[in-house]
Amino acid sequence: MLYRQIEQNKRKTVLLVLLFSLLVLATGAAIGYLGYGDAVPGLAIAAVFLAFYVPVTYLSATAQVLRIAGARPASREAYPQLYRIVEELCIPARLPMPRIYVVDDPSPNAFATGMKPDKGTVAFTTGLLERLNREELEGVAAHELAHIRNYDIRLMTLSIALVSVIIVLADIGPRLLSQRHRGRGKKKRIPPS
């Protein structure tokens, strides 16, 4: 059952990247067609963009998610109980020790991120750490470690990172089109002789 879940998550990740790539290509083609009357330039720009963005996102998605959340590394000295809990849960789960981060936020929350279990990261908000007792914190940590073990983290991390580019395209596309249309309106008119 566990291995089936892991394989499903890996397939979903590939499908997500393919669907995202098709969406970006279609958006590029639409912008090219609407702005210049030809889909090929927009398609070419979108393809070049994808050739760089997808590998860079894959390599930096964890850092992007942590930066978006405002997470900072948690030291063992500052959070000894948290480190003991995570270490104790990793042993029976046969997981490598993930990196531990803390987010300065009063709301109780936690999340796991990373591309594979040996590169996993778990982040806890200060609100969660202040409100929960040890047993409750163990439950939350076990839940996040299950996400790491099942490769849910790869799917979730890439989803967050890839959605950010759609937001950028949604912002840039209308600007490019409006620039193109403004340029058309400024053409010099030759007075009749």
Q: How far apart are CA 151 and CA 163, in angstroms?
A: 19
Domain range enclosing 35: 2-178
pLDDT at position 191 is: 58
Q: How far apart are CA 96 and CA 99, in angstroms?
A: 9
- For the chain, how many structural domains are there in total? 1
Residue of 7, 88, 135, 144 marked active site? 144
- Domain assignment of residue 185, yes or no: no
The helix (H) or strand (E) run that includes residue 49 is: helix 39-69
Q: How far apart are CA 103 and CA 126, in angstroms?
A: 6
Highest mean pLDDT among 19-28, 102-111, 143-152: 102-111
- Domain assignment of residue 188, yes or no: no
Query: Is 144 among the residues known to form the active site?
Result: yes
**DSSP output for the chain:** -HHHHHHHHHHHHHHHHHHHHHHHHHHHHHHHHHHHS-HHHHHHHHHHHHHHHHHHHHHHHHHHHHHHHTEEEPPTTT-HHHHHHHHHHHHHHT-PPPEEEEE--SS--EEEE-SSGGG-EEEEEHHHHHH--HHHHHHHHHHHHHHHHTTHHHHHHHHHHHHHHHHHHHHHHHHHHHHHHHHHHTPPPPPP-
Q: How far apart are CA 141 and CA 2, in angstroms?
A: 19
- Domain assignment of residue 47, yes or no: yes
Give the pTM.
Answer: 0.71
56 Cβ partners below 8 Å, 6+ apart? Answer: none
pLDDT at position 36 is: 76
CB 138 within 8 A of CB 150: no
- Domain assignment of residue 189, yes or no: no
- Domain assignment of residue 192, yes or no: no
- Domain assignment of residue 184, yes or no: no
Find, among 190, 133, 157, the residue nearest to 13 by Cα: 157
pLDDT at position 189 is: 55
pLDDT tens, residue by residue, 25-83: 888 888 788 877 888 888 888 888 888 888 887 788 888 889 989 999 999 999 999 99
Q: Which band of pLDDT confidence, cut at 50, 70 and 90, is reported for residue 114?
A: confident
Q: Which band of pLDDT confidence, cut at 50, 70 and 90, is reported for residue 131?
A: very high
pLDDT at 144 over 90: yes
pLDDT at 103 over 90: yes
- Domain assignment of residue 187, yes or no: no
Mean pLDDT across the chain: 84
Instruction: Identify the CATH number of the domain in which residue 170 sits.
Output: 3.30.2010.10
- Domain assignment of residue 65, yes or no: yes
CB 100 within 8 A of CB 79: yes
